[in-house]
Amino acid sequence: MTRRIAMKRSEINNAIDYVIGRLDDFKLPLPKFAYYTPEEWRNIDESEIELVDNMLGWDVTDFGSGNFLEKGLTVFVFRNGSFNNKEKYPKPYCEKLLYVRDGQILPYHFHWSKTEDIINRGGGDLELTIWQSDKNEEFSSEDITVTIDGKKVTIPAGGKVILEPGQSITLLPYQYHMWRGVPGTGDVLLFEVSTTNDDNVDNCFYESNDRIPQVEEDEEVKHLIFADYKNYIKIAK
């Protein structure tokens, strides 16, 4: 059995601080809850329960790699519906900031349910490698068709696509994808617009990867990630 490697709280705090600083450079404002302190989170009431129920806010992961800068991602979820409570939250879409550091990798995975547009909003280039999943959730040898900025493009199995700033790609369920910020081109300000998303149940990684990190509390919490909500927020489930 592979031992799970915990992320340090200091890594999570630093990753979010870094992205907040860089978003000032990109002139991208965030909603007020992006800056809530742990104490402010503790004291939210039922009027903001959607933040908790639908996992809005920050997330940081190194996918259990122990090396965040090599393999990792910083996420901010602006809006999301609900997989399990569509009557209360009928919103059928999700919007996320996916901040990719220069050279940083997101490992191979697909989604059973989610359709997503991955949009390069600025900064460096993003390289994606794409495979179709077969019925056994292995890489298929078949060519794969994706849509890039409204144009259907067929690429060979395991083919690569480069998204330059301003470009986007639509990824369908069962399409394995891995991406990397192209080294030397800078951090990538990536956005995702998708159908309703639940990262607890809709990620199939090709290799065993921890999407939701275990955390070693080596310093005080500065920014909550959504996995913290149940431990900090009085009204959390």
Mean pLDDT by 10-residue block, N- to C-terminus, for the chain (237 residues)? 76 98 95 97 95 96 94 98 92 97 97 97 98 97 97 98 98 98 98 94 86 93 96 79
pLDDT at 234: 81
Q: Is residue 160 a contact partner of residue 126, using CB atoms and an 8 Å limit? A: no
- The residues, ordered by sequence, that sit 6+ positions from 7 with a Cβ below 8 Å of its Cβ are 60, 61, 62, 68, 213, 214, 215, 216
As a whole number of angstroms, the distance between CA 187 and CA 101 comes to: 4
Q: Is residue 55 a contact partner of residue 199, using CB atoms and an 8 Å limit? A: yes
Q: How is residue 114 annotated by DSSP?
A: -
As a whole number of angstroms, the distance between CA 10 and CA 199 comes to: 23
- The residues, ordered by sequence, that sit 6+ positions from 143 with a Cβ below 8 Å of its Cβ are 154, 155, 156, 157
- 7-232 CATH: 2.60.120.10
pLDDT at 235: 79
- Closest by CA to 83, choosing from 114, 57, 47, is 114
> What's the start-to-end Cα distance of the chain, in Å?
31
As a whole number of angstroms, the distance between CA 170 and CA 115 comes to: 7
